[in-house]
Amino acid sequence: MAILGRIRKIMRYAVACFLVGLLFFGGHLALLQATGNFHTVIPGQLYRSAQPSGAQLESYVQQYGIKTIVNLRGSNDQPWYREETAVARRLGVQHIDFGMSATKILTVDKAVALIDIMKTAPRPILVHCMSGADRTGLFSLIYSYEVAGVPEDVAEWQLSVLFGHIGVPYLSASFAMDRSWKDLEHHLDVREGG
């Protein structure tokens, strides 16, 4: 009986630890959404966020000197898009639409076109998608490695749970972003660790 009691106590402790961890993880994701998932990727060059409101966009442009907005959601006729393009026009900021899906692998050809945008667009750049986690994470990873010369192992943190990306094979549709990077690594001749 004493052994059974100890096992129950250990199990309760393990479940409690798991639930506390889950609570912290959920809190982290909620905080990302509450802050618009805005982060500096490369100071003075690249900033990332979830879909910004017009007021947030104006604030980012004023505070960080944003010269280009890259919208990874693609053009459409939704109110957020009309507001975003109107703010960009009013503030004299270049607006680039590059539609891509968080659940579909980005082809090497599309990735090369994206890298061209990264290299030629006026900086600083603000890149966004809907949640600022998956598509924006892949963009930030590619930019960090290919344009800014950040070592691969550091750049890969841009596509991680730190920014809300959950890339688990067979469990999360956004794993397509991880797969896209793996495919692109071969094209870019990426060497592990840097």
How does pLDDT run across 46-91, given as a tens digit for each residue? 999 999 999 999 999 999 999 999 999 999 999 999 999 999 999 9
CA pair distance 67, 84, nearest whole angstrom: 14
Q: How far is CA 128 from CA 17, 48, 96, 135, in A?
A: 35, 6, 11, 8
pLDDT at 188: 84
pLDDT tens for each residue of 107-140: 999 999 999 999 999 999 999 999 999 999 999 9
Task: Identify the CATH number of the domain defined by range 37-188.
Answer: 3.90.190.10
pLDDT at 99: 97
Q: Which residues fall within 8 angstroms of residue 30, CB to CB, at 6 or more apart?
A: none
Q: Which residues of 102-140 are buried (b: 16+ CB within 10 A; e: fewer)?
A: beebbeeeebeebbebbeebeebbbbbbebbbbbbbbbb
Q: Which residues fall within 8 angstroms of residue 116, CB to CB, at 6 or more apart?
A: none
- Domain boundaries in the chain? 1-34, 37-188
pTM: 0.83
In three-state form (DSSP H/G/I as H, E/B as E, the rest C), the secondary structure along 19-57 is HHHHHHHHHHHHHHHHCCCCEEEECCCEEEECCCCHHHH
